[in-house]
Chains A and B, each alone.
Chain A
Amino acid sequence: MASDPRQTSPHHDETGAPPGGAPRSSYFGAVTSVLNVIGTLLILAMAVAVNADVIGRNLFNQPISGVLEFMGLSIVAIVFLQMANTLRVDRHVSNDIIMRAIAQSRPRFAALTYAVFNLIGAVLMALIVIYVWPILEENYRHGYFRGTAGFAEVPIWPFYSAIVVGAAITAIQFLLFAWRALRRAGAVQG
């Protein structure tokens, strides 16, 4: 992590490419990168906001209202904005030591297993989209917000729409990985 923060995953060292690694450039990869950038900007905004609040409160006796509410909602949005890209570069937490060993002797079985796991991941993301959609709609329709009324209102719906969009894109990424794993299973056989 000293010079290259990317070298933190313990899974990358032996075979180089992660099992679910994606091609370096693609249109879809660009979509995940855009979400990633928005999420990253949101993190930086959080860092700026919290420091502005601390400095304002301690030096000028002037706290900034709504910062805590903004941070609480942002963290949820950040997770889903980064989700697809995190999946794409294989940085979600998993423990594939056993499956890697199996892949050495039975690559087709391992590829099929990864295909199934990726399909399940897509199903889970689809479920998240299905079940978060109603609360997004409700918050949008009623204009719900967090914070003090008329003073520091942080609207909720933009953050919840980040969940829906992020989960949908992540579902597609899972499907792409599943498709590739299936093709790999077929190629090994042929």
Chain B
Amino acid sequence: MDEILIGALCLAASLVLIQSGMHIGVALMLLSFVGVWAIKGLGIAGKLMSSSVATSIASDAYAVIPLFVLMGLFVSSTNMGRDTFDVAALFMRRVRGGLGMATVAANAVFAACTGTTIASASVFTKVAVPEMIRHGHTPGFSVGVVAGSSVLGMLIPPSILMIIFGVIANVSIADLFKSGIVPGLLLSIAFCVTIMLLSYFRPTFVAADPKALSGDYKGPLTEAPLWAVGMKFLPIVVLVGTVLGGIYGGFFTPTEAGGAGALAAFLIALFRRELTFRIFWEVALETGRVTAAICFLLMAAALYAQMLTLSGLPYAVGQWLQNAELPVMSILIGYLAVIIVLGCFLDSVSIMLIVLPFVIPVFEAFGINLVWLGLISVIAIEIGLLTPPLGLAVFVVKANLEDQRITAWQIFMGTMPMTLTMVAVLAICVLFPWLALALVGQRWSWW
């Protein structure tokens, strides 16, 4: 049988099995094994499988994953998310739609301590949604803002998705982290602008009674003295400073920043007297499970990438694209569209693992900057987290809602303005690569 055909069949079969509910890692690894077997024989398939399991992730670059997960879970187990939200709400109290903006701002700060959207979404569903609903915002808008702004978790460093991209594409993780800062801030501002426009021009979407929007927010910190507000904000500033300052101050590598961040988060939780041994152990166990799930996917992806290479399928696709003489921009737009569509029914890590082995050689041949490619890929994948039917962020929000009368559909509708905002920011970042690359110190542009 034709080798390219074998590769294509394995790809198609794994997509079918994944959609039928088979574990993604199992489906990907087994079909890659079968694919290599069909192309090169059983002996090679076994050798490649054992090396994908034993050596593909055996490097300290991957050890950062449990460390950042550990840090994020420590932070999430404390009330730091709530404190950050309270402080943000205090500062925004006179602004129309300020509570929504406070959610965005708190999410942006919180994102600098966690590497996943899921962590941000679950924390702020519990913290911000009840508060927004209590102040007269519609449930749809409240959950929509939380789900939408939770994507900042993956964009603002540290970010698990960027680590995975960096490892697959062989790009510096520190550079990827830096590239997310400006677009992350840009997206936060764009979210705030969207909220402000909505509260002026579509007030009934934001609040059933538009009077609720005009300031006068009473929160736990309204009467508090300034030093008390500062104390609420201090821990998270220390934590963000440790991680980002440590990396960019040259004290440690991004890998070590995960360890240092986990230690700092642990100490802060301890000082706040919010850490019992039970919580500590539960956090550690959960870290292990998240790590196992992500890393098994990475192992499967390593074998899958080798199977693809052996089949020659990515090479054929690349050749075909080059012969078609399409402009790079149209290939890029096609790529982003595919990612966003895949995001409707695959989780973000799987999308990266399945798509990147195809596109990286192609884009490299076109001279595209890979740091920038990583950044726009992360944004596009995160858009998929907000779109039905499998908007992961939306389901995390739903799972953490106290009011179970709010349907997934309501959340999707409430998220729609945020999703459109993300598409706009994605377009801006595509058109102006320096937004991502300025802090990295790399020059690359379309023009």
Contact = CB atoms under 8 A, between A and B. Distances in A.
Contact of A43 (B25, B54, B66, B127): B66
B278 to A, nearest CB: 11
B63 A72 contact: yes
Interface string A1-32: 11111111110110000010000000000000
B159 interface: no
B395 A58 contact: no
A82 B289 contact: yes
Contacts of B396: 8, 10
Contacts, number: 225
B353 to A, nearest CB: 10
A54 B259 contact: yes
Contact of A44 (B20, B25, B284, B346): B284
B292 A50 contact: no
Interface stretch (B88-96, B211-219, B249-257, B313-321): B249-257
B130 interface: no
Contacts of A73: 58
Given A72-B59, A79-B291, A98-B19, A47 B123 contact: no
B18 A46 contact: no
B70 interface: yes
A94 B390 contact: no
A127 interface: yes
B25 A1 contact: no
Interface string B363-406: 00000000000000000000000000110100110111000000
Contact of B122 (A8, A49, A95, A100): A8
A40 interface: yes
Nearest to A79: B295
Interface residues of B, number: 80
A37 B70 CA distance: 15
A44 B287 CA distance: 10
Nearest to A43: B66
A169 to B, nearest CB: 13
B57 A93 contact: no
A95 B119 contact: no
B386 to A, nearest CB: 13
A180 interface: no
A124 B303 CA distance: 13
A173 interface: no
Given A93-B349, A93-B350, A95-B18, A47 B67 contact: yes
B77 interface: yes
B351 to A, nearest CB: 12
A92 interface: yes
A72 B22 contact: no
Interface in B216-254: 251-252
Given A13-B399, A50-B67, A72-B58, A36 B21 contact: no
B288 interface: yes
Interface in B11-55: 18-26, 29-30, 33, 46-47, 49-50, 53-55
Given A5-B283, A46-B259, A94 B22 contact: yes
Interface of B: 18-26, 29-30, 33, 46-47, 49-50, 53-55, 57-60, 62-63, 65-67, 70, 73, 76-77, 79, 81, 118-119, 122-123, 126-127, 251-252, 255-256, 258-260, 262-263, 281-297, 299, 345-347, 349-350, 389-390, 392, 395-396, 398-400
Closest 8 CB pairs of A and B: A50-B259, A10-B395, A96-B21, A99-B21, A82-B292, A71-B63, A13-B399, A131-B50
27 contacts: A2-B127, A5-B76, A40-B281, A46-B63, A51-B263, A54-B251, A58-B251, A71-B63, A71-B255, A72-B58, A75-B58, A75-B291, A76-B53, A78-B66, A79-B291, A79-B299, A82-B291, A92-B292, A92-B293, A94-B18, A94-B22, A95-B18, A98-B20, A123-B30, A128-B50, A128-B53, A132-B54
Interface of A: 1-10, 12-13, 19, 36-37, 39-40, 43-44, 46-47, 49-51, 53-54, 58, 68, 71-76, 78-83, 85-86, 89, 91-100, 113-114, 117, 120-121, 123-124, 127-128, 130-132, 134-135, 159-160, 163
